[in-house]
Chain A
Amino acid sequence: MNDVVSVSQKNGQPSTQIYASRVVAPAVDVFENADEVLIVADVPGVTDENLDIKVENDTLTLEAKRTAPTGELPALAREFEELNFSASFRIPAGIDASAAVAESKNGTLTVHLPKAAASKPRKIVVRSVS
């Protein structure tokens, strides 16, 4: 729903143009355990320098630029465009952003967001009083 539709008048006839956004959201898995939040995203064709991961307050933003193909030959079939990736997620409070680690392999990005010690579930020992 990010297409911007603009309707204008041209020679008394309404004309509509749709500007499609030039980014796509990558396919993503989000997992969580007691120690960390794990985000796995498919970002094929992206080099590490073009990957931008930001954690700000309660938001994790992932942005990746794909190098636009130059001098491309005529396409007989085109099922994907080399669009830039962009996605943002709300992350729960208690993430130690400074300890976040990201690695990419085979075009898949994995981001580890460790939970700050204070927010890890702490077991409370029950002592019975006889």
Chain B
Amino acid sequence: MLTGWIGFDDTLRALDLLQQHMDRAPDPWGSLARRGVGRSRRAPEAAWPLTNVFEGKESFFVKAEVPGVAESAISVSVEDDALVIRGERKSEVPEGYKVHLRERAPVAFTRKLTLPARVDADAVSATLDRGVLTVTLPKSKESLPRQIAVKSS
């Protein structure tokens, strides 16, 4: 039985009061968390790294966001026509510091991306620039479109 129905207005008012209370916090870090604009975009650790895959006429291109990952901590390989990106992003709390906000957890990742066509594994190249990994995967000869001559009988 529904008693003490909380009207929609009351809920909003309660949230409003809570927000005001938080804003008035004397602790200077009270509302540190964020007054910034924009939606927060953090890849959940299980989905690291976020990738975009593009297809050109002769190659596939994979772009992955791997901020904080050193070249030595990432490996790119082609296994059974799939691109495998493995690596580790370290993220330590510096010794002796107090933590106010922690959104960058250490991540060990492995992502396997299967591509829609075979690639020439020997010709795959990768670059890492400012936390963005770009992998170029040339399509293998068999996957390139082949023109078939039409002969009139």
Contact = CB atoms under 8 A, between A and B. Distances in A.
Interface of A: 2, 20-21, 23-33, 38, 40, 42-47, 58-59, 61-62, 72-80, 83, 85-93, 104, 106-108
A72 B39 CA distance: 24
B38 A23 contact: yes
Given A76-B53, A86-B37, A88-B35, 20 more contacts: A2-B37, A25-B37, A25-B38, A25-B41, A27-B104, A29-B91, A30-B101, A31-B99, A44-B130, A46-B130, A76-B116, A77-B51, A80-B41, A87-B38, A88-B36, A91-B32, A104-B130, A106-B66, A107-B65, A107-B132
Contacts of A29: 91, 93, 99, 101-104
Q: Could you say which interface size class chain B belongs to?
A: 35 or more
Interface in B105-140: 113, 115-116, 128, 130-132
Contacts of A62: 36
A75 B54 contact: yes
Interface string B51-63: 1111110001100
Given A28-B104, A90-B31, A45 B65 contact: yes
B131 A108 contact: yes
